[in-house]
Structure 1
Amino acid sequence: MSNRRDFIKALGLSGVALTVPVAVTEAATVTPAANNTDITNLTLKGRVQSNGQGIANVPVTDGINITLTDKNGNYQLLSNKTVKFVYITIPAGYAIPHNKGIAQFYKVVDSKQNSFTANFQLERLEQDDKHHIFVVWADPQIISKKDGQALIERSAPDLRELAANYPAGTLIHAIGCGDLVWDHFELYEDYRQAVSVTGVPFFNIIGNHDMDIDARTDDYSATTFKDNFGPTYYSFNRGNIHYIMLDDVFFIGTAKKYIGYLTEPQLQWLEQDLKHVPQGSTVVLSLHIPTNTGAKRRNKDKEDELGGVVSNREQLYKILTPYKVHIMSGHTHMNEKWENGNIMEHVHGTVCGAWWTGPICSDGTPEGYAVYEVQGNDISWFHKSTGKPKDYQLKIYPKGYLKNAPDEIIANVWNWDKQWKVQWFEDGALKGDMEQRIELDPWAVELYAGDQLPKKHKWVDPTLTDHLFFAKPSASAKSIKVIATDRFGKQYTQEIQL
């Protein structure tokens, strides 16, 4: 088993013992709030409006139950004094309210009285939002001011430039897909600054490195995250798409141990939420830990790592059965996709690459983020490598770069899924499809393999991936070209001279 996999498993639930550096384990001590056990009735009420006009049928929730606003935009919800927030599902056709890029769809409940009034002001969009863009930032995972500066000075301007290159007025939002920091909550300010630089409104979800590790139970492990970003599960609409954000990081109450698990209150809330979404709709559901990956298959493990996938994922899939679903996740620091029936999961390579130790993730995916272009009910996508043009979608290695394949050229097509086609040309002549195999990316081996590499985090290792392609050129070959065609028919080309 690789050093990196040992490290990841030790942070999730496993039998592997590991001494985690002090810098990793520092986090705020959390004590349960005094009113968390007060189940006295509390009435939540208010109005959702735009320019003085009430907005009807807007879902309003306390995280337990959901009610809809009436024809005048008014709502009333019987709750209790244990709840922290009252929040809305932003309806399609309205701008995303935000504070310097952090989405503001919630109010903190003051439970001193027996009723609490929360009004929500929304701004109607002038343009149709059925066409819009969203991006996914997975695992910024900043552990130092230096990492924070990289996010602020490198990643954030890249997203700002991407947004500016779309036609004026294009609607764009972002999803911060967890591990926004690496246990150092003082660095949330750096994350906020990066978000502000992008000029794009962000919806954020909690990752395992956003948890209060001194909490006595999972119920309190999100206290600091909530203080900074609001609820850990919620939804919103844009155009025809219903977006859902969930918390699947379940803290088991000791050190940094967690499992991928969705609690019953969340699943009950989700069932209520989807009652207001027409069956057959496209749903984009985001969470930090992937619901599933190919890691067990690639590594030939007997069981999934409990901290690596969602244990009760089948129950989630049942709830999602009536919809066309795209799941957005991170956590693994590598890029992969899988499809089954009505569900496609996009496991994202990271903004930080391999924990800010090099320009690529452990599978050779360049540090960066995913871009999704929405047209009505349909979504297309590409990986945007930080500092690279949009059409940078593959890398070719000459033969001799990988010990396991000394006579073959290798192409890493990091955003590949089973509907891509990867072909190769030798000296201009089409030779056919390349062979897809599970292997290690050659550059990742060079950067991360061995006990002394990389210098910053020596436990980082290259990881096996499905998106490598092989071909054996002839001895006389002078040039090799690879054309990768994605599922949308777009072609990407790279060429090397031998």
Structure 2
Amino acid sequence: MLDRRDFLKNAGLTGSLFALPSLLKAQPDTKTAGGVDLSVITLKGKVQSQGSGIAGVSVTDGINITQTDRSGRYELKSNATAEFVYISLPAGYAIPEEKGIAAFYKPVTKSSTQVNDFNLTKLSVDDRKHNFVVWADPQIISEKDADLLKTQSAPDLKALVASYPAGTLWHGIGCGDLVWDHFELFEDYKQAVEITGVPFYNLIGNHDMDIDARTDDGSAKTFKQQFGPTYYSYNRGDIHYVVLDDVFFIGTAKKYIGYITENQLRWLEQDLATVKPGSTVVVSLHIPTLTGQPKRDKKDEEFGGTVSNRKQLYKLLAPFKVHIMSGHTHFNDNWEEGDMMEHNHGTVCGAWWTGPICGDGTPAGYGVYEVDGSDIKWYYKSTGLPKEKQVRVYAKGRLKDAPDEFCANVWNYDSKWKVEYLEDGVLKGNMEKRVAYDPWAAELYSGPQFPKKHKWVEPTLNDHMFFAKPSAGVQKITVRATDRFGNVYEDTISFS
């Protein structure tokens, strides 16, 4: 991590890292003509563990960032527009939580001076090795959906954690659309998280917004009451984690675009200034910055489907090794360029709790990431299935568009996988990757009569389908998929 004094010297700055936007500059107990309260508030306190201060911890009001001094004390000039004061959890400390929900923030009151201390617990193990999971789109709309989340998804994660050595560090990222517009179900989501035994950081999705808000500024009111700030950072081991709000509500019910505001970008510049170039940074946001869907569907990008100003985000992230975690699409999609990779996850709810798979054939489930220092390995965990299940093979002709071929769905595929097939135990070679529908998804979700629960659900094209034509007389086909880490996964079908 950069020495803060050196950074300020190099940047030619004193005081706060960056100036406030002009509207939000602290003023002496005044209001603008529009009624915005800009009264000066001083935020101060101590970040400590067992009474001893922790130096160099970033503390923010969501606009400016300061860092604690040698004794762990901080002081930040803010104003009455601030909603929270919060920390970027330093490496080596346990995630503060309340019943599984990360608790790293304090609400800002209107008093002129507010004192908030943050008490942290030092870890007894080295957190350079840790795991995390990404729950994209639980998206519960009813008590029945909530029960499935609590009786299927949460126990699945709890069992996965139990399968690892005792003492393994875990945390979760709730990647947006925690509920489906029914805010009374936030409590059910929290209960599910508590069942897992894993502390979760959470971020806002388009179905977690107040759609009766006048503008985007008010659209996160309920979410903030439940989970705190919508953008923040934290550290674990050698990894710096950033959470962003990229769902921009345009003031009309259920209308939004993928967009990162200037306030967030300014804040992120300050946050990343304390991170050593070349470090690994994990960025989580709900709407993906980019996917292959427009190319697959031969359509233009939709404003609500990807982040419109993603190039500005990429510029800020350019000095780092970056993994972007996203949800929203209800399909699995991975892309990589240089030191940046985006993991767009299949969903916890599958196709909105209508069946066991997403529209692209990815099973309902979640991403699992294993961190060792600055290196990250990953796999997709399908709910109710062993973690070794990473490929599904279909018999010849199961996909009507390929009557003479068998096919396989390798849902977490990226460009460094290898997909081969064997006939009666004899390796025949690589399979052909093509854009196609998953046969099972087509059967479950095609047509206005399917599925019964949500008739608008449809199968989606994906580019992780693989095809080959079987030889005459073959009795058994095995598809072998090898991921970038050398893990080998197989699935087999037999011909009668």
Q: Does 1:493 align with 2:484?
A: no
- 1:101 alignment counterpart: 100
Supply the distance in 1 between the matched residues of 2:129 and 2:470 (Cα, whole angstroms). 44
- 2:273 alignment counterpart: 275
Deviation at 1:475, TM superposition (A): 2.5
After superposition, the C-alpha distances for 1:174-202 in whole angstroms (9 at most, x for unaligned) are 00000000000000010000000000000
- 2:249 alignment counterpart: 251
Deviation at 1:422, TM superposition (A): 0.3
After superposition, the C-alpha distances for 1:301-345 in whole angstroms (9 at most, x for unaligned) are 1x2110000000000000000000000000000001000112100
Supply the distance in 2 between the matched residues of 1:37 and 1:335 (Cα, whole angstroms). 43
Supply the distance in 2 between the matched residues of 1:398 and 1:369 (Cα, whole angstroms). 27
Q: Is the 8 A contact 1:63 1:85 kept in 2?
A: yes
Supply the distance in 1 between the matched residues of 2:65 and 2:371 (Cα, whole angstroms). 27
Supply the distance in 2 between the matched residues of 1:170 and 1:403 (Cα, whole angstroms). 46
Residue of 315, 318, 330 corresponding to 1:321:
318
Give runs of aligned pairs for residues 124-203 of structure 1, distance below 5 A.
Answer: 124-203=122-201
Deviation at 1:453, TM superposition (A): 0.5
Supply the distance in 1 between the matched residues of 2:474 and 2:35 (Cα, whole angstroms). 71
Deviation at 1:363, TM superposition (A): 0.3
Supply the distance in 1 between the matched residues of 2:36 and 2:445 (Cα, whole angstroms). 48
After superposition, the C-alpha distances for 1:18-71 in whole angstroms (9 at most, x for unaligned) are xxxxxxxxxxxxxxxxx9821111100000000000000000000000000000
Deviation at 1:474, TM superposition (A): 1.6
Query: Aligned to 1:456, what secondary structure does the other structure show?
Result: coil
Q: Is the 8 A contact 1:337 1:347 kept in 2?
A: yes
Q: Does 1:91 align with 2:90?
A: yes
Q: TM-score, normalised by structure 1?
A: 0.92
Q: Does 1:304 align with 2:301?
A: yes
% of aligned pairs identical? 67
Structure 1 gap ranges (5+): 1-34
Q: TM-score, normalised by structure 2?
A: 0.93
- 2:219 alignment counterpart: 221
- 1:64 alignment counterpart: 63
- 1:6 alignment counterpart: none
Q: Does 1:360 align with 2:381?
A: no
- 1:116 alignment counterpart: 114
Query: Aligned to 1:37, what secondary structure does the other structure show?
Result: coil
Amino acid at match of 1:482: V
Supply the distance in 1 between the matched residues of 2:331 and 2:233 (Cα, whole angstroms). 26
Supply the distance in 1 between the matched residues of 2:36 and 2:356 (Cα, whole angstroms). 47
Residue of 315, 320, 330 corresponding to 2:327:
330
- 1:80 alignment counterpart: 79
Higher RCO, Cα 8 Å, sep 6+: 1
Supply the distance in 2 between the matched residues of 1:437 and 1:282 (Cα, whole angstroms). 32
Supply the distance in 1 between the matched residues of 2:205 and 2:396 (Cα, whole angstroms). 39
Query: Aligned to 2:194, what secondary structure does the other structure show?
Result: helix
Q: What is the RMSD computed on CA atoms of the aligned residues?
A: 0.8
Query: Aligned to 1:214, what secondary structure does the other structure show?
Result: coil
Q: Is the 8 A contact 1:60 1:69 kept in 2?
A: yes
Supply the distance in 2 between the matched residues of 1:296 and 1:336 (Cα, whole angstroms). 12
Supply the distance in 2 between the matched residues of 1:320 and 1:383 (Cα, whole angstroms). 25
Deviation at 1:477, TM superposition (A): 1.0
Supply the distance in 2 between the matched residues of 1:306 and 1:40 (Cα, whole angstroms). 37
Structure 2 gap ranges (5+): 1-33
Amino acid at match of 2:252: T
Q: Does 1:463 align with 2:464?
A: no
Supply the distance in 1 between the matched residues of 2:217 and 2:38 (Cα, whole angstroms). 16
Supply the distance in 2 between the matched residues of 1:449 and 1:214 (Cα, whole angstroms). 33
- 1:28 alignment counterpart: none
Query: Aligned to 2:188, what secondary structure does the other structure show?
Result: helix
